[in-house]
Structure 1
């Protein structure tokens, strides 16, 4: 039997899929997207003396130039925007005037990374909770959880020019010794303690509803603990977890969550384990950037007699665009065949979520303007289809916070900061080019830097 030919991703979906209309999602138009990147909230092309027709035409042309770099949100069936199509857009202007936003200052600018807590002998029953129960042991033996060191280096590049450092004290899981809970803790491990120095926070645990891990820990309790340990000089802190997490009784699991106003977030690597990919139906040929393959998207939208749209090709799509560069790097991607490749794949998924959750600590909401690292996700399958980059709107927010509010640069300085940030991420991606996502991200950045230089 002949093997299935690899998809060539010749046609790219640069706008939302046909499912967007079915879901009731209306993407902000070209003029609104341009306006969303400005302090004033006005379209920069809407100069005096220009007719409405001219402004609309210029906005559409600008959108066409941007689309092969920054496509629209895919919005496929079961995606987050399918369930929440009226998610409010957050422009640069609205973010700028957000009262609860945490501005980086010279006394509070450090990003802290707290390594996964150590399991002490008193809670030895927790050993093995980090391993998927649905995969054979021989498939798990070569996997290594994403390292805290790699996470720190990625965040150092992504949030370029902010000090990123490890939380200075080790965190440990210990027995929860509250007298009223001793019997329950011993019988079913309903509670454990998360300890540092002389402090300890109670962490609820439960059996995992879908049985893919032995037990889960409660992320709200973990976030409460993170608030308690937040250093005085911290802009924000991310707590890394290798255990599965849940938020409330109604959900199966949660990979990450931020209490943005409180400057803390927690991210778990558990559900990103490649051993679970077959259960999640992950299509290795169509993770980002090849998730923008029109044939792939049309296939997922082919329900309820929904007809695919005719391919609208941008002239910029056929040139040396960032998205096309990224796709050409990973064309024909398949299941990683080496231990190093599988572990790198695992880490790349965690890295994207780390940057996303810390974005909330900067006051950035979920993005609906473009396919963007700050989009919300409804599950692992959508997660791996989303890009690692920040769209033009969200990039303005991060660049303004660091280059303008912290470093006091003007617009020219901010534009130079954006280029320096891209170079820092590209350097990280070069060191991790054996991993498809980072190889593609590096190619995308090189294409974007080329655009910014002409």
Structure 2
């Protein structure tokens, strides 16, 4: 079978043979509309954390945990005080999870930070409180409902995974299907800046990206090095902002293998969500992909 158009040899190898996929999925994986992975600059993720990537065949061979009839729901757990005005409500993030992963998602009751009982520290660079992620992950493992495949906690407090790290946007454990992410550094107030017109959508885009990125790790996806992709690693806010809102063909094939969704219906649900959330650029990108897939 001929290789899909628009793909480099490395991308074709990472994607794997497509003889067994449907015509619609094959068109979705063609490479149309996806940008190549940019060369990392000094301070970027790959410049500091060299990674070899994860081909589709490697993903399948690793036999990651996948949803089944018993555990086929995603859950979102707000942690700590409610977000201040301008920060997207958790229900909107729940809707994003449901559309992105084509699985039912529900919002759990908010949990006070004191109930978690975690270590904290003051970041020496920012002077702000940070929460120790291993203690949060241990708490979430105990709170994972039996019908939930993946549980993600969201918090407005900054996070750190180890004393040697400055901070982390989010972290997840595929084996235990739990993760936590912070919107602290996505809020202009973190740098003592006021909200400006348009900041609400910028914060929403940032929060959706880190949320679905961390949940992607719970499905067994590692950082992507083949395209500009939602699953790219990020070392700083500028690099995180540069990531697209979508997964690349390689990561899309992994998710479709794990979840078994209809690719057209998934994109249709994403288009409805983006339109409803006022994310016009993302809605237009999805509409263009649907045009390619239906052709």
Structure 1 residue 114 corresponds to structure 2 residue 29:
no
Q: Is the 8 A contact 1:34 1:43 kept in 2?
A: no
Residue 154 of structure 1, aligned match among 75, 84, 96: 96
**In the alignment, is residue 84 of structure 1 matched against residue 49 of structure 2?**
yes
Alignment partner, residue 402 of structure 1:
259
Q: Contact 1:111–1:236 (CA<8 Å) still a contact in 2?
A: yes
Q: For the residues of structure 1 that align with 2:192 and 2:54, how far apart are their CA atoms?
A: 35
What is the aligned counterpart of 2:184 among 270, 274, 282? 270
Give me the CA root mean square deviation. Answer: 2.4
Per-residue deviation, 1:110? 1.0
Q: Which has the larger radius of gyration?
A: 1
Question: In the TM superposition, what is the alpha-carbon distance from 1:274 to its structure 2 partner?
Answer: 2.7
Question: How far is 1:43 from its partner?
Answer: 7.6
State how far apart, in whole Å, the 1-side matches of 2:212 and 2:110 are.
22
Q: Give the CA deviation at 1:447.
A: 1.2
Asked if the contact 2:80/2:111 (under 8 Å) is kept, the reply is: yes
Secondary structure of the residue that 1:70 maps to in structure 2?
coil
1:380-412 deviations in Å (ceiling 9; x for gaps)? 110000101010010011112222xxxxxxxxx
Query: Equivalent of 2:272, from 402, 421, 427?
Result: 427
1:205 matched residue in structure 2: 120
Unaligned 5+ segments in structure 2 are 1-6, 20-26
Q: 1:143–1:343: 8 Å Cα contact kept in structure 2?
A: no
Please list, as runs of the form range in 1=range in 2, the aligned pairs for 1:107-146 lying within 5 A after superposition.
107-118=70-81, 143-146=85-88
Output the CA distance in 2 between the equivalents of 1:144 and 1:452: 36
The aligned counterpart of 1:171 is: 111
* Residues 74-129 of structure 1 deviation map (CA, whole Å, 9 limit, x = unaligned): 233121112233x1221111111214x1111000111111112349xxxxxxxxxx
In the comparison of the two structures, how many residue pairs are matched? Answer: 279
1:70 aligns with: 34
Structure 2 CA distance for aligned equivalents of residues 220 and 145 of structure 1: 25
CA deviation map 1:352-376 (0-9, x unaligned): 1100000010001110110111111
The 1-side partners of 2:265 and 2:280 are apart by 19
1:359 alignment partner in structure 2: 216
1:282-321 deviation digits (Å, cap 9, x = unpaired): xxxxxxxxxxxxxxxxxxxxxxxxxxxxxxxxxxxxxxxx
Asked if structure 2 preserves the Cα contact closer than 8 Å seen for 1:31 and 1:43, the reply is no
* CA distance in structure 2 between the aligned counterparts of 1:266 and 1:117, rounded to whole angstroms: 12
Matched, 1:246 2:187: no
**SS of equivalent to 1:203:** coil
Do the aligned partners of residues 33 and 365 (structure 1) sit closer, same or farther apart at CA in structure 2, a change above 3 Å counting? same
In the alignment, is residue 261 of structure 1 matched against residue 175 of structure 2? yes
Q: Provide Cα deviations, 1:144-182, integer angstroms capped at 9, x if missing partner.
A: 33311111011111011x110122x442233xxxxxxxx
Residue 343 (structure 1) shift? 2.0
SS in 2 for 1:257: strand
Alpha-carbon distance in structure 1 between the residues aligned to 2:210 and 2:113? 24
Question: Does 2:242 correspond to 1:385?
Answer: yes
Q: CA deviation at 1:276?
A: 5.0
> Structure 1 regions of 5+ residues with no counterpart?
1-28, 45-61, 120-129, 131-141, 175-192, 195-201, 280-334, 404-413
Residue 104 in 1 paired to residue 76 in 2?
A: no
